[in-house]
A and B are shown apart, each in its own frame.
Chain A
Amino acid sequence: MNPSRRKFVKTALGGGLAATLPLSALKMLSPAEAHASIGDDKVRWAFVVDTEKCVGCGLCVKACKLENEVPYDAPVTRTWVERYVITKDGKSHIDTPNGGRDGFTSPKIRDEVIPADEITQAFFVPKLCNQCSNPACVQVCPVGATFQTNDGVVLVDRSWCIGCGYCIMACPYGVRFFHPVYKTAEKCTFCYHRISKGLKTACVQACPFGARQIGNLKDPADPVTKIIMTQRVAVLKSEYGTKPQVYYIGFDERVR
C-alpha cells in the first residue's frame, strides 16, 4: 500500500469525525419519542396560585374531592390549603385542618389562640401537584405505572400500579397518597378529564376569588403564560431540580 497525501487527509478527517460523533446521535428513536423531543405539542399545562387573593375558604378542596371521587372523610386529599400565621417573636404557626376542606373558621391554630396584635403576617397557601418537568415520582416507579403525558401532566395508571409507595416517598412536595379504595398511588391530575375538554379544573372553577388559574404555557396569549412571563412568581423547592410548573404569586420564604 502506498498512501497518497489526499487519501491520508481524507481518512484522518473521516476517522476524526467518527470518533467525536456522540453515541446518542446513532440512537434509534420511536416515532413518539421523536415527536416529543421536537416538542411540537401545542399544549403544556401550567398553574398559577395567587396567595394574595386566597382567603382560605377551602371551596377548592371540597370541589376537588367531590369531582375526583376522593373519599370525603378520609384524611387524604389531592389539593389542600395551608394557613401560615407569623407572630412578632418570629415563629411560624402553620396548620391545615382536614386539608382546609371545611375552610378556616377559627383563629385557633392547633388549639392555640394567637392574639391579633401578636400577628405580623398571616396568609393562606393552596397546594397541589406541581406537575414537574422532571418528576421525581415518575423516575422511581419500578413498573412504569406513573408517567408524564406529552402535555406535561403526571398521571398514575391505576390498573398497572402495584401500590409499592416509592413515588409517595419520592415526591418532595408530599402531594401523593395511597388511595384507600383503589389501593394505588393517587395524585392531582390537573383534572385531566376537564382540561382535555376545554374546561377549567374543579378547583379553579370553584375558587370565588380567582386565586387559582390554569393555562397553556405554550400559548403566549394565555393569561397564565403572561403572568409567568411578566410578574414576580416563584416555585416551591426549586433546589430539588424537579422544575415544578405551579407558580406562586406572593411567595414567602417560610412556605415549604
Chain B
Amino acid sequence: MKNHAWRPFLVAGGAVALLLTVRANVVPSDFGVNGKNFTYGFYRKGAIAYWKAVKVKYRGREYCQDCHEDKEKAIMASPHQIIQCENCHGPAIDHPDNPPKLTIDRSRGLCLRCHALLPYPGTNRGSIPGIDPDEHNPKQACVDCHNPHHPNLEDMK
C-alpha cells in the first residue's frame, strides 16, 4: 500500500496513545469499581479517607464533664439535663487549647426554640412550659432572671 494510505491509521493510533497516556496520568490509581457494582460503587477510594478525616467539633457532655464536673452535676439534677452543654456553649472542638474560650449563646432566641409556646397537638411542644415572646418581658434576655442550669422558678435570680 502507498505511504499516504497509512497516514490516517497513524493519526488514529497516535490519538489513542495520547488518550491512554493522559488517562494514566490524570485518573487516580485508586479509581474504579470499589463498591457493590459499577452503578453505585464506581469511585475514588481516597474520597472515603477524606470524609473520615473531617474534624469532630461537637465532643459531647462526657468531654465537658472531665473539667466542669460541678456544672455537669447541676444540670443533671434539672429538667435541662436532656440538653447537651454544647447546644448553648457552642462546639468544644479542642477547648481549652482551641478555642481557649467558648462563645456562649445567651440570646433570648435560644430559649425560645423550646419555650415559645406553640399549642400544637401531636407534639410535646405544647407541654413544655412556654411563654408568648411578645407578651413575656419582650426584649429582655431570659438569663437576666432565669438560670439555665437551675431552671426551676424557685431558683430565679
**Which residues of A are at the interface with B, using a C-beta cutoff of 8 A?**
30, 32-33, 36-37, 52-59, 62-63, 66-68, 85, 102-107, 116, 119-124, 134-135, 138-139, 144-150, 155-160, 189, 192-194, 196-197, 199, 202, 205-206, 208-209, 250
Contacts and interface: CB of A to CB of B under 8 A. Distances in A.
B34 A32 contact: yes
A147 B33 CA distance: 10
Contacts of B44: 144, 157, 159-160
Most chain A CB atoms below 10 A, which of B37, B43, B52: B43
10 nearest A-B pairs in the assembled complex, by CB-CB distance: A103-B113, A122-B120, A147-B43, A36-B36, A157-B47, A193-B54, A57-B113, A208-B82, A105-B116, A55-B125
Nearest to A145: B43
A31 B58 CA distance: 37
B52 A192 contact: yes
B118 interface: yes
A147 B40 CA distance: 5
Contacts of A139: 39-40
A64 to B, nearest CB: 10
Nearest to A35: B36
B87 A206 contact: yes
Contacts of B47: 147, 155-160
Nearest to B61: A205
Contact of B41 (A122, A148, A250): A148
Contact of A54 (B42, B82, B123, B128): B123
Given A56-B125, A122-B123, A149-B35, A67 B43 contact: no
Contacts of A145: 43
Given A67-B91, A102-B109, A52 B122 contact: yes
B50 interface: yes
11 contacts: A36-B35, A55-B114, A63-B86, A103-B116, A106-B133, A135-B40, A138-B40, A145-B43, A147-B43, A199-B60, A208-B82
B42 A147 contact: yes
Given A33-B36, A103-B114, A147-B35, A66 B91 contact: yes
Contacts of A157: 43-44, 47, 50
Contact of B58 (A63, A123, A196): A63
A1 B132 CA distance: 100
B52 A33 contact: no
A31 to B, nearest CB: 10
Contacts of B32: 30
Nearest to A121: B122
Contact of B114 (A57, A135, A196): A57
B121 interface: yes
A34 to B, nearest CB: 10
Contacts of A103: 109, 112-114, 116
